[in-house]
Amino acid sequence: MWDLLFTEARLATMTEGGSPYGAVEQAALALAGGRIAWLGPQAALPGPAKSLAREQHSLEGRWVTPGLIDCHTHLVHGGDRAAEFELRLQGASYAEIARAGGGILSTVRATRAASEAELYASAKPRLEALMAEGVTTVEIKSGYGLALEPELKQLRVARRLGETLPVTVRTTFLAAHALPPEYEGRAEDYVAAVEAMIPQAAASGLVDAVDAFCETIAFSPAQTARVFRAAQAAGLPVKLHADQLSDLGGAALAAQFGALSADHLEFTGPEGVAALAKVGTVAVILPGAFYFLRETKLPPIETFRAAGVAMALASDCNPGSAPVSSLLLMLNMACTLFRMTPEEALAGVTRTAAKALALEASHGTLDVGKVADLAVWNIARPAELAYRIGFNPLALRVKAGVASAMPPAPPSSSA
Ligand code: DI6
Ligand code: FE
């Protein structure tokens, strides 16, 4: 006996190799023990609906997708940078703002000063905004503590969000995000400090992966490689902020270390694309940062596509370059700005995003045995998820088999 049976559904299973979106129409989907127990054409159900599940619910033709996955966020941080946004619009340059103590280091100060309760309270509404659009899994990075204890503080808050809200949280240790003020002029010493932090961070159990920012304004490829070697020695997979503002060969470096993902990639050249393709590292596309920074160099989407590089799509939710709490908006921007197709965009926040978090065995598609993380939508076709701007058609969110709210009962035809 199943726990719950959805009937009259349309499924965008997002499994590869079949129909567009892995679609199954006139479908049913059953949940048991928090997992997907059965799915397929309703006509193929192994018996009368009433006899199969404790509870049944008609979705009246609504579309079901896997719960959405935001695989790159910095959503736990102190303060905000709205005043800096205002200054920039009054003509202040990024360098002037940085000299005046602004930029990423202002977020470091605010994050270090904040208590865990304060960080939790400020991050929760950002996460809830993502969840309101069907997000059921989110990655959260540290990177605004830049010393062991404040980095772990961010990650404890990330874990607590996952324990108190119906969402899966994967954590990433990003101490190599920026040079902290106390190490000014001593980048090599800070990298050595990060190398020393990594085994302790790993031992804390708060870390699922290690990330770094490889950029002229952050860490060099050689410094990044040191961080990656420390991560691998501690048994942790790596990811990389690569080729966002210039091509330092970040994508190839990530591939060389078998990274789960290389993220941003606006400046990645053909060798970088080939390296990602060879290893199967996911390219995480971040249109929110591109938009907010008014970047003009487009990521090489067509080259990724031709090379068969799997593309994920994420919010980058952070206070400096992407104050974004909408994954649906990222679907639209990926299509309008980067010419991804709506199907690629939806795969990028489901199947491929799961791969970027090493969760593809249990999440990211509608498949029997996978965790029952679902989003049910008031749409006529899946492309609508990428098409509308500022409109949320979510009807129902299911996390590990538990529905957040049922859609309104159908108007009774007999009344
Ligand atoms: N790339 C970015 O765009 C952000 N971090 C990163 O590695 C910027 C983060 C910030 O400005 O706070
Ligand atoms: Fe980022």
Is 111 inside a domain boundary? yes
Q: Is 188 helix (H, G, I), strand (E, B) or coil?
A: helix
224: Cβ below 6 Å to ligand 1?
A: no
pLDDT at position 5: 97
Is 182 inside a domain boundary? yes
Is 188 inside a domain boundary? yes
Is 415 inside a domain boundary? no
Is 314 inside a domain boundary? yes
Are both 58 and 84 inside the same structural domain? Answer: no
Are both 276 and 386 inside the same structural domain? Answer: no
Q: Domain tally for the chain? A: 2
Are both 76 and 10 inside the same structural domain? Answer: no
pLDDT at position 102: 84
Helix then strand then coil, % of the chain, to nearest 5: 40, 25, 40
Alpha helices in 166-256, H assignment, sequence order:
187-203, 221-233, 250-256
Name the residue with tokens 């941003």. 264
108: Cβ below 6 Å to ligand 1?
A: no
Residues in the chain: 415
210: Cβ below 6 Å to ligand 1?
A: no
pLDDT at position 134: 98
Q: Which of 74, 85, 105, 318 to mutate to test the pocket of ligand 1 (most atoms within 8 A of CB)?
A: 318
342: Cβ below 6 Å to ligand 1?
A: no
Are both 16 and 143 inside the same structural domain? Answer: no
**Which ligand 1 atom is nearest residue 177's CA?**
7
pLDDT at position 414: 40
**Which ligand 1 atom is nearest residue 322's CA?**
3
Other CB atoms within 10 Å distance of the CB of residue 363: 23
Other CB atoms within 10 Å distance of the CB of residue 283: 31
Are both 189 and 337 inside the same structural domain? Answer: yes
Q: Which of 105, 211, 213, 239 to mutate to test the pocket of ligand 1 (most atoms within 8 A of CB)?
A: 213
Q: Is 8 helix (H, G, I), strand (E, B) or coil?
A: strand
Q: Which of 72, 73, 74, 286 to mutate to test the pocket of ligand 1 (most atoms within 8 A of CB)?
A: 74
Is 243 inside a domain boundary? yes
Residue in 377, 407, 380, 284 with CA at minimum distance from that of residue 66: 377
**Which ligand 1 atom is nearest residue 320's CA?**
11
Task: Quickly list DSSP for 246-294.
Answer: S-SSHHHHHHHTT-SEEEE-TT--HHHHHHHHHHT-EEEE-HHHHHHTT
Enter the pTM of the model: 0.96
Q: Which of 72, 84, 97, 104 to mutate to test the pocket of ligand 1 (most atoms within 8 A of CB)?
A: 104
Are both 331 and 203 inside the same structural domain? Answer: yes
Torsion of CA 382, 75, 315, 71, to 10 degrees: -70
172: Cβ below 6 Å to ligand 1?
A: no
Alpha helices in 65-212, H assignment, sequence order:
82-89, 94-99, 104-113, 116-131, 148-164, 187-203
**Which ligand 1 atom is nearest residue 218's CA?**
7
The kind and range of the H/E element at 355 are: helix 351-356
Residue 223 tokens read as: 């410094």
CATH number of the structural domain spanning residue 390: 2.30.40.10
Residue 317 Cα to ligand 1 midpoint, Å, equals: 9
Are both 120 and 91 inside the same structural domain? Answer: yes
pLDDT per 10-residue tile (average), the chain, 415 residues: 97 96 98 98 94 96 98 98 93 82 92 98 98 98 98 98 98 98 97 98 98 96 98 98 97 98 98 98 98 96 98 98 98 98 98 98 98 98 98 97 70 44
Are both 204 and 296 inside the same structural domain? Answer: yes
Kindly list the strands in the beta sheet with 68-70, ordered across the sheet, starting from the edge strand earlier in the chain: 68-70, 135-141, 168-176, 209-214, 239-242, 261-264, 282-285, 311-313
The answer to whether 119 and 76 have CB atoms below 8 angstroms apart is yes
244: Cβ below 6 Å to ligand 1?
A: yes
Task: Report which bound ligand comes closest to the CA of 141.
Answer: 2
Cα of 354 vs its chain's centroid, Å? 9
Residue 152 tokens read as: 């772990």
Residue 321 Cα to ligand 2 midpoint, Å, equals: 8
Are both 55 and 122 inside the same structural domain? Answer: no
Q: How far apart are the C-alpha atoms of 25 and 35, rounded to whole Å?
A: 21
Are both 337 and 242 inside the same structural domain? Answer: yes
Q: How far apart are the C-alpha atoms of 250 and 256, rounded to whole Å?
A: 10
Are both 76 and 55 inside the same structural domain? Answer: no
CA distances from 165 to 79, 367, 404, 406 (A): 22, 24, 11, 18
Is 412 inside a domain boundary? no
Residue 11 Cα to ligand 2 midpoint, Å, equals: 32
Is 411 inside a domain boundary? no
| Residue with CA closest to ligand 1 atom 10 | 320
319: Cβ below 6 Å to ligand 1?
A: yes
**Which ligand 1 atom is nearest residue 286's CA?**
3
Residue 256 tokens read as: 């060389």
Q: Which domain holds residue 13?
A: 2-66+366-403
CATH number of the structural domain spanning residue 240: 3.20.20.140
Are both 332 and 250 inside the same structural domain? Answer: yes
pLDDT at position 96: 84
